[in-house]
């Protein structure tokens, strides 16, 4: 018959193994792939004119940057923590005609609902960079 101390030790070993397995499952679930390639830096999302979209992300995450161009005329775009044009402001980008702005946010800015590009004036095209699980 095992002592109480032996049973506690065995339970601790089992718990440690269960925690390790749960951590590995979570890590695997956070890994993102694109065309069967594991993403390690940031995921780009084409936005705006020319086949892009205005909802760059529809879930919580981390905004790590953008590269946007004003097409033909001055443009203003508001990046919102939302899935619509009604969310809280993450950033506002004002561009002169036919200029580009590329911004990298070292640690990124967390958002809870998604990233929506509300084009207030002009036409934009480019990409928004979303941080991936690490």
Q: How far apart are CA 83 and CA 130, in angstroms?
A: 15
What is the model's pLDDT at position 37? 59
pLDDT of residue 69: 94
Rounded average pLDDT over 11-40: 64
Rounded CA-CA distance 95/51 in Å is 20
The DSSP output letter for 24 is H
pLDDT of residue 41: 67
pLDDT at residue 99 in the model: 96
39 pLDDT exceeds 80? no
Output the pLDDT for position 74. 95
Enter the pTM of the model. 0.67
Average pLDDT score over the chain: 82
111 φ, ψ (degrees, to nearest 5):
-135, 155
Helix (H), strand (E) at residue 11: helix 4-30
Nearest to 108 by CA among 131, 78, 82, 80: 131
Q: What are the pLDDT digits (tens) for 59-111?
A: 888 899 999 999 999 999 999 998 888 889 999 999 999 999 999 998 888 88
Tally of CA atoms within 13 A in the half-sphere of 67 that contains its CB: 8
Place of tokens 């960079």: 129
């Amino acid at each position: 018959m095992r002592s109480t101390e032996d049973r506690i030790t065995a339970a601790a070993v089992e718990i440690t193994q269960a925690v390790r397995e749960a951590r590995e499952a979570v890590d695997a679930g956070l890994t993102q792939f694109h065309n069967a390639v594991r993403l390690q830096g940031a995921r780009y999302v084409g936005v705006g004119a020319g086949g892009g979209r205005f909802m760059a992300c529809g879930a919580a995450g981390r905004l790590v940057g953008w590269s946007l161009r004003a097409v033909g005329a001055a443009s203003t775009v508001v990046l919102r923590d939302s899935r619509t044009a009604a969310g809280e402001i993450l950033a506002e980008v004002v561009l002169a005609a036919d200029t580009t702005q590329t911004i990298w946010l070292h640690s990124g800015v967390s958002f809870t609902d998604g990233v929506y590009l509300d084009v207030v004036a002009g036409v934009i095209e480019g990409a928004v960079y979303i941080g991936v699980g690490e």
